[in-house]
Amino acid sequence: MIILKDVNKDPKKLEDVHSIVASILEQVKIEGDQALIELTKQYDRVELSVLKVPRKAFQKAYELVSGETIKSLEFAAEQIKYFAEHQLACLQPLKRCEHIPGVTLGHRLVPIKTCGAYIPAGRYPLPSTALMSIIPAKVAGVDKIIACSPPSKEFGTIHPAVLVAMDIAGVDEAYCMGGAQAIGAFTYGTESVPKVDIIVGPGNKYVTEAKRLVSGSVGIDMLAGPSEVLIIADESVPAQFVAVDLLAKCEHDPNSIAIFVTTSRKLAEEVQKSIKEELKTLGTAELAARTWADNGKIIIVDSMDEAVKISDELAPEHLQIMTENDDEIAGQLCNFGSLFIGKTAPVAFGDYVSGTNHTLPTLSCARFTNGVWVGTFIKVSSVQKVSMEGASRLAGVCSHLAGVEGLLAHQRSAELRRGY
């Protein structure tokens, strides 16, 4: 059995990250804006005078981004919004149900008031993550959506492509900040940055550790690890498709995980050859080759049933199926962050334009949770109304159970309603 590697399990490294992040959070909590400015200079090598991005910076960003990029972002935004709206339509308030006369139950769908969207900036700007984080919150009805991203050294502020994406998505405010300090600002608030009710968006190990430490003081979407893909394929698919889709995951990050499961030794060998060929011309070959060598795996199984079993045990972030019986196999799978069915449905589409979200559970967490979606930003809050008749039916049982637990004021509270 192959276990997805958690790169943060080294105790010494965990201790180092924890102590650094805890110190940063405390500094932001005490010093506010000044800490954010100093930490941005220290870690991002950019000196800021203000943290909030002014409206004119958004307008200038459109001038710095190509028309094709703007149109592409608008296309992706429309598709993400379309899917989020249809997801929202599946959620319905429960206005009235009555099993016992006089006891009316229900629930309300209550949007979270404020959201902080963290948009990482590593080797490249990530405008797609701005769309994925902000649009579902907007569709859910969040009152105020604020976003942040680390500064680009080239521009001295958030990369213009990310600013344009934030604007297209409908952000209310944006702040130039990143790292654990940004998570601290969203959690505690500073002179400039308002604190929020929930923080969403992926980040590096310091951002993830910061989210772990502040969870409970603020809501978080999840604790994300390195990106993953598992591909199940047979000889009906070209080896090149599998090879390129594996490398697409490998170029993300040196800790990314790419696994290929197949019933065909022939296809496995062809994929290995195709990977070597693709690396000869791939612009990100150095990173992709190193990641594949360190974290790439090919598993040959005796049957598709075995492939399904392995996949469900690993519960990958991205699961891709390319076989002669895609729909049949898809119906047997349960554990995945996002499922891509068919040889014309690569993970890249989900990362950008198909409309589903790309902020997904990793490290086998898809066994018990899901990725960011419109429901991430909605509370399902229960409501009850009890008439005198209903109270008379509930009071006796409630009183008895409260007595069993030794909660005498609870018991008294119920008794007061008996026959009121």
Alpha helices in 65-215 (DSSP H): 67-90, 127-140, 160-169, 179-188, 205-214
Of 87, 85, 143, the closest CA to residue 111 belongs to 143
On the question of pLDDT at 72 being above 80, the answer is yes
Query: Average pLDDT of 325-352?
Result: 98
The residues near 225 (Cβ < 8 Å, ≥ 6 apart) are 6, 7, 8, 208, 255, 362, 363
**Helical axes 179-188 vs 205-214, angle rounded to 10°:** 20
Chain-wide mean pLDDT for the chain? 95
Buried b (16+ CB within 10 A) or exposed e, 251-263: bbbebbbbbbbbb
Q: What's 156's DSSP letter?
A: S
Q: Which two tokens stand for residue 274?
A: 């195709």
pLDDT at 159: 97
On the question of pLDDT at 187 being above 80, the answer is yes
On the question of pLDDT at 4 being above 80, the answer is no
Using alpha carbons, list the distances in angstroms from residue 244 to 4, 260, 325, 343, 346. 21, 12, 21, 12, 10
Q: Which two tokens stand for residue 288?
A: 């992709």
On the question of pLDDT at 3 being above 70, the answer is no
3-state secondary structure of 389: helix
Place of tokens 């018991």: 411
Provide the pLDDT confidence category of residue 65 given band limits of 50, 70 and 90: very high
Query: Average pLDDT of 113-119?
Result: 98
Least confident range from 121-125, 139-143, 157-161: namely 121-125
Does residue 121 contact residue 162 with C-beta atoms inside 8 Å? yes
CA atoms in the 13 A half-sphere facing the CB of 398? 16
List where CATH 3.40.50.1980 sits in the chain: 11-220, 228-370
Whether the full predicted model's pTM is greater than 0.75, yes or no, is yes
Q: Which residue ranges make up the annotated binding site for NAD(+)?
A: 118, 181, 204
pLDDT at 242: 98
Using alpha carbons, list the distances in angstroms from residue 78 to 137, 217, 342, 356. 14, 33, 23, 11
Query: Average pLDDT of 152-159?
Result: 94
On the question of pLDDT at 8 being above 80, the answer is no
On the question of pLDDT at 358 being above 70, the answer is yes
Q: Which residue ranges make up the annotated binding site?
A: 118, 181, 204
Alpha helices in 117-204 (DSSP H): 127-140, 160-169, 179-188
Alpha helices in 297-346 (DSSP H): 304-314, 326-332
- C-alpha torsion 258→263→265→266, nearest 10: -100
**Distance between CA 239 and CA 26 in Å, rounded?**
51
Q: Which two tokens stand for residue 307?
A: 């492939």
Per-residue pLDDT reduced to its tens digit, 255-288: 999 999 999 999 999 999 999 999 999 999 999 9
Provide the pLDDT confidence category of residue 220 given band limits of 50, 70 and 90: very high
**Distance between CA 133 and CA 272 in Å, rounded?**
36
The residues near 217 (Cβ < 8 Å, ≥ 6 apart) are 187, 188
On the question of pLDDT at 6 being above 70, the answer is no
On the question of pLDDT at 12 being above 60, the answer is no
**Distance between CA 168 and CA 266 in Å, rounded?**
47
- What is the third-level CATH fold of 228-370? Rossmann fold (3.40.50)
Give the percent of the chain with pLDDT over 70.
97
Q: Residues with catalytic annotation?
A: 317-318
pLDDT at 9: 56
Query: Average pLDDT of 119-123?
Result: 88
Query: Average pLDDT of 84-106?
Result: 95
On the question of pLDDT at 2 being above 70, the answer is no
**Distance between CA 159 and CA 178 in Å, rounded?**
12
Q: Which two tokens stand for residue 245?
A: 């889709």
Q: What is the CATH number of domain 11-220?
A: 3.40.50.1980
**Distance between CA 103 and CA 1 in Å, rounded?**
51
3-state secondary structure of 145: strand
The residues near 371 (Cβ < 8 Å, ≥ 6 apart) are 222, 337, 338, 357, 358, 359, 360, 361
Side chain identity at residue 96, one-letter code: R
Side chain identity at residue 299, one-letter code: I
**Distance between CA 152 and CA 130 in Å, rounded?**
15
On the question of pLDDT at 35 being above 60, the answer is yes
Give the percent of the chain with pLDDT over 90.
94
pLDDT at 133: 98
